[in-house]
Each structure stands twice: as structure tokens, then as C-alpha cells.
Amino acid sequence: MFIDEAKIHVSAGGGGNGCVAFRREKFVPRGGPSGGDGGRGGDIILTSDPHMNTLLKFRYNPEYRAERGGHGEGSNCHGKDGKDNTVTLPVGTVVYNLTTGEKLWDFDTPGMTVVVAKGGRGGRGNARFATSVNQAPRRAEPGTPGIALDLRLELKLLADVGLVGFPNVGKSTLISRLSAARPRIADYPFTTLAPSLGVVGLGGDRSFVMADIPGLIAGAHEGKGLGIRFLRHVERTRLLLHMVDVAEQSCRDPLDDYNVILNELQSFSPVVAAKPTLVVASRIDAVGDGDRLVRLREFCAEQGLPLQEISSVTGEGLEKLKEAIWTRLEQIPKSKESEAEKSDDLPIDASGH
């Protein structure tokens, strides 16, 4: 099951209390205070794991706590420090403060590690308060509580290429032909209910990651169909493949299809709509005697849009498409893929440390 949103509560461990104790031993005439300090509380640590691809586990386990620090003891014994709790997230997870809505961290690289909630400090024992004028202090400090936060997790898949278009234009079939991904394929709308990732190889060490985004329809930005909730997954892509069905039996006009989807992308985010785009004429094996493909060619030529013509069934144009995608990706600096997001705010420590 693909889950790309979750809410969790994290609570760091509280610090242990300091101890009030006095040393009373035979043959030790000068005992004095011997209360030890409390141990520090454990931290909550988030780290990104490239082997995870969903937030499913957080739906069933939304609370994460770290161990409390042990209390100080006599004979100047320090309390045991609490164990940290390390929570793994999929790469591409964005963490928000649930209360304020503030963006806190963006786990966009594997192995990124952040202390999201610091454990409490252990209290000092009475041995710490001994002075020349107060040689038998009878006070100690309590430990401080750990930081507690309510967080919202939002997963944005990391892919080089994002497939967008109406339902049943051949996005799932294309990614299944180009990669080892096996999304559900059927002849009815909204077959794909969750994004799929596939690695496309071109020989040698050349490869790129492609994301199949569930189909959009007119009014998706108003919640129609599957809405636009999955479009966050194309925010990190460097290139969009806008697929248009040119088959003769299709009941929609290809130019209208292109403009409707472009309008939905603009309603979602002008930054996404402005991404470099390749238009892909799908199902050319069933184009028939109509002028659907001809009109799409003319439209792309007028708009200066690169057009690729393919048939995922026969395989026609697929190798040419892969090379065109690779050539275009080589022209797009990787640093631009999340530039719009990262310019908004940088990661900060919500615990105040």
C-alpha cells in the first residue's frame, strides 16, 4: 500500500533527577555530600533510508518516544543516559510542524540525519552544590523534560522524469515497457491509484528514474477525479512527459487534452507547469486515417514543443524516446529540481537547539 502522508508525535526523554546523599563510611571521618547527577534523556532522531518508499508504518505506529534518563544515586553515581530513538523515513520526505504548519526539514538525500527533539538535561546532585560555606547542601535539581512535537510527514518521490496526462493515455503501459515497474494496467479510467517508480536503463551506466503519476482530468484542482494530491510527486522531477492519446477511437481532442492538463498543472503550481516538457503522442499504432496526429504535430511546431511519437504496444519510437529524454536531462542541471522549494525556507531545529 502506498501512503504519502502521515502525522506522528515524537517525545524525547526527560532528564533524570539529581540525588541528595551523604557519604557515611567507617574510617572516613570527612564524608560530605555524595549525590550524583541525573542522566540526560534520549533524543528523537530522524534519518532517511533509500530502501523505504512509503509512509505506511506511521499510519499504524504514530507515537515515538525516547528513553528517560536515570536518576542520580549516592556515592557520586551518575544516572544512566536515556537511549536515543532513531526513526527512519523514505528519501524525499518533507517534515512540517503540525501545529504551526512550518516546514522544518526536507530529507532529500539518503542518510540525512537530524535530531528533531532533544532529550532533557539531567539534574545536578547535591555534591555539585558543596562550597566552603555550605559543606552539607541538601538540595538537588530535577531533570528537565524532553522536547515533544507533533509532526506532519509528506512524501515527495524523487524522480528525474514525471509522466502526466489524462487517464488511460498509456502512462502505465509506457513505464512497464521502459522499466521493471509493473503498475496495474486496464482499459478503464483511474486504473493507477498510486504513483509508480521505474528505473529506465539506456545501456552502459546511463539510467534515469521515471514516475507514473495517476491520471488528471478537468477540474482536478477542485478535487474532481483523484484531485491533485499526487502532483506533489512531480515537484522534484526535472522533466515532464506530457502524454497525449492520438488513437482514432479516442473520444477526446488531443489539443484539448494538452491544454486541460496544462491548466491543471498551472492551477496546482506555476513552477511545475513551467518545467521542461516533452510532448509524447501515444498509441500511434491506432491513429487510423484521422488528422489527430497531424494537428498535434502542427500545434507542437507552433508552440516550440518537442514531440515524440510512440506506440507502447508495438515498441515503435520507444528507443528514440529514451534517447530524447536522456539528451534533455543532460541539459537540465540537477540543482534546479527542487530549487523552488529550497528557496522558501532552510531546515531549522524545531526543538530550539
pLDDT digits (tens, 9 = 90+) for 185-220: 445 444 444 677 778 888 777 888 888 877 665 555
Rounded to 5 degrees, what angle do the CA atoms 286, 292, 295 make? 145
Name the CA radius of gyration of the chain, rounded.
29
Rounded to 5 degrees, what angle do the CA atoms 284, 285, 286 make? 85
Q: Does any domain span residue 18? A: yes
What CATH number does residue 275 fall under?
3.40.50.300
Question: If 0-12 CB within 10 Å is exposed, 13-18 middle and 19+ buried, where does residue 204 land?
Answer: exposed
Residues 93 and 180 in one domain: no
Is 70 exceeded by the pLDDT of residue 29? Answer: no
**Cα–Cα distance for residue pair 283/296, rounded to 1 Å:** 13
**Cα–Cα distance for residue pair 27/43, rounded to 1 Å:** 43
Residues 253 and 327 in one domain: yes
Residues 71 and 211 in one domain: no
Is 90 exceeded by the pLDDT of residue 96? Answer: yes
Which of 101, 125, 155 is at the close of a domain?
Answer: 155
SS3 35: coil
Residues 25 and 116 in one domain: yes
Q: Does any domain span residue 350? A: no
Q: Which residue has the higher pLDDT, 263 or 205?
A: 263
Round the average pLDDT of the chain to a whole number and report it: 82
Rounded to 5 degrees, what angle do the CA atoms 346, 351, 353 make? 80
**Cα–Cα distance for residue pair 85/112, rounded to 1 Å:** 15
**Cα–Cα distance for residue pair 102/342, rounded to 1 Å:** 13
Residues 333 and 194 in one domain: yes
pLDDT at 99: 92
Which of 101, 131, 155 is at the close of a domain?
Answer: 155
Is 60 exceeded by the pLDDT of residue 44? Answer: yes
Q: CB of 8 within 8 A of CB of 148?
A: no
Cell of 190: 483511474
Residue 230 pLDDT class (50, 70, 90 cuts)? low
Beta bridge partners of 106: 94
Amino acid at 131: T
Instruction: Count the domains in the chain.
Output: 2
Residues 189 and 142 in one domain: no
Residues 139 and 207 in one domain: no
Mean pLDDT of 123-133: 91
Residue 121 pLDDT class (50, 70, 90 cuts)? very high
Mean pLDDT of 217-244: 68
Residues 195 and 317 in one domain: yes
Q: CB of 82 within 8 A of CB of 119?
A: yes
Q: Does any domain span residue 310? A: yes
Q: CB of 95 within 8 A of CB of 113?
A: no
**Cα–Cα distance for residue pair 231/86, rounded to 1 Å:** 30
Q: CB of 155 within 8 A of CB of 92?
A: yes
pLDDT at 170: 81
pLDDT at 217: 57
Share of the chain above pLDDT 90, in %: 39
Ramachandran angles phi, psi of 82, nearest 5°: -70, 150
Is 60 exceeded by the pLDDT of residue 329? Answer: yes
**Cα–Cα distance for residue pair 65/50, rounded to 1 Å:** 23
Q: Which residues contact 71 (CB under 8 A, 6 or more apart)?
A: 16, 17, 18, 19, 38, 39, 79, 143
SS3 113: strand
pLDDT at 223: 53
Amino acid at 60: Y
Q: Which residue has the higher pLDDT, 11 or 229?
A: 11
Q: Does any domain span residue 353? A: no
Instruction: Name the residue range of residue 270's domain.
Output: 161-341
- Owner of C-alpha cell 547542601: 137
Q: Does any domain span residue 255? A: yes
Q: CB of 12 within 8 A of CB of 81?
A: no
Residue 225 pLDDT class (50, 70, 90 cuts)? very low
Which of 155, 180, 214 is at the close of a domain?
Answer: 155
Ramachandran angles phi, psi of 248, nearest 5°: -60, -35
> pTM score > 0.75 for this model?
no
Residues 140 and 267 in one domain: no
Q: Does any domain span residue 348? A: no
Q: CB of 77 within 8 A of CB of 119?
A: no
Residues 117 and 88 in one domain: yes
**Cα–Cα distance for residue pair 90/55, rounded to 1 Å:** 7
pLDDT at 345: 41
Q: CB of 337 within 8 A of CB of 241?
A: no
Q: Which residue has the higher pLDDT, 318 or 167?
A: 318
Residue 40 pLDDT class (50, 70, 90 cuts)? very high
Nearest to 174 by CA among 155, 139, 148, 200: 200
Q: Does any domain span residue 311? A: yes
Residues 173 and 308 in one domain: yes
Q: Does any domain span residue 346? A: no
Residues 174 and 220 in one domain: yes
Looking at 142-156, 245-259, 307-321, which range is the least confident one?
A: 245-259
What CATH number does residue 128 fall under?
2.70.210.12
Residues in the chain: 353
Mean pLDDT of 97-123: 93
First to last CA, the chain: 36
* pLDDT tens by residue, 56-88: 889 889 999 999 999 999 888 999 999 999 999
